[in-house]
Amino acid sequence: MAVVCRNLRAFAQKTSSLRCTPNFLRLYSQSKPAPPKLVTVDVDKAGVATVTLDRPPVNSLNTGLLEELGVAIKDLEANKTRGIILTSSSNSVFSAGLDILEMYEPKKQNLSLFWTTLQNTWLSLYRTSIPTVAAINGHAPAGGCLLALSCEYRVMVGPKFTIGLNETQLGIVAPQWFMICMKDAVGRRQAEMALTAGKMFSTQEALNIGLIDKMVSNKEEAIAEAQKFIAQFAKIPPLARRMTKESIRQEGIKYMEENAIDDLKAFMDLVVQPNIQKGLGMYLEAMKKSK
């Protein structure tokens, strides 16, 4: 027993002295790599932040990405950033929308956290006082379109990408707050037509109905247009701007503040339905087969 204790003491001394050596730090950092960041933030000299979704291959929105995006927006607000440009690290997809794997055969707790994180991050983006622009450099279906719609201005790379709230095509109904965002951008009539058909718009079609504000031919141009949009606010008194944005977006903000719990319950009840689970499984299979 005494020998065991002595050995343990020797080992403890050895490891505690090892703890600070470069070798130990190297070994420790090798065994515990930091998880890759799913959202990166670059602030330029003018104080404008480019927030890049970076979850290959398609930036599907899982809890981790949504959480990071929410934290990034809060940090940028605290740092008085002059503008946010939301874009993607992919060359062909802005975001594929909600991560279907978060909804397929889920644990109740995870599902609830997923939806609550989506609600909170959406509200942070939708109501932030910072000017926001989506530089949409790829396809933006469903939840991807929602993120773009939550910004104040949308510049999209064309002509080959598509955007829209396609939920009815998947046999589901877009939540009310998704619909409010579409109405905000294109008006009630166009929103009704787009949503009931679950239409995915080409870049040119999206421009025609006001779903996007500008079509450009590459990401660099999209970022330049976004910077131009943000620059105009340098001359506008910030309090007046903030209050106007908050006021004009009142319907969506109020909806979420008053209905978050009911919205969560409706989502949780729906997703666990056997027919929805079966549909999600088939959808995932179909996506794999279409490769």
157 binds ligand L4XM7KOE (CB under 6 A): no
Strands, DSSP E only, in 56-212?
Answer: 83-88, 132-136, 140-141, 153-157, 162-164, 201-202
C-alpha 178/C-alpha 279 separation (Å) is 21
Angle, CA 217 vertex, CA 212 and CA 221 arms, to 5°: 85
Q: Whole-number minimum distance, CB 63 to ligand L4XM7KOE, in Å? A: 13
What is the amino acid identity at position 115? W
* Binding track, positions 262-281, relative to ligand L4XM7KOE; x by CB under 6 A: -----x--xx----x---x-
Instruction: Specify whether 251 is catalytic.
Output: no
Give the number of other Cβ atoms within 10 Å of residue 287's Cβ.
Answer: 12
Residue found by looking up tokens 């008085």 in the block: 80
C-alpha 210/C-alpha 198 separation (Å) is 17
Instruction: Specify whether 70 is catalytic.
Output: no
Q: Which one of the listed residues 143, 144, 164, 198 is annotated catalytic?
A: 143
Instruction: Specify whether 143 is catalytic.
Output: yes
Q: Whole-number minimum distance, CB 10 to ligand L4XM7KOE, in Å? A: 50
Minimal CB distance residue for ligand L4XM7KOE: 97
C-alpha 166/C-alpha 199 separation (Å) is 6
Which of 49, 85, 98, 206 contacts ligand L4XM7KOE by CB under 6 A? 98
Compare residues 29 and 92 and give the one whose CB is closer to ligand L4XM7KOE: 92
Which residues lie near ligand L4XM7KOE (CB under 6 A)?
Answer: 57-58, 60, 92-93, 96-101, 103, 139, 141-143, 167, 170, 172, 174-175, 267, 270-271, 276, 280, 283, 287-288, 291
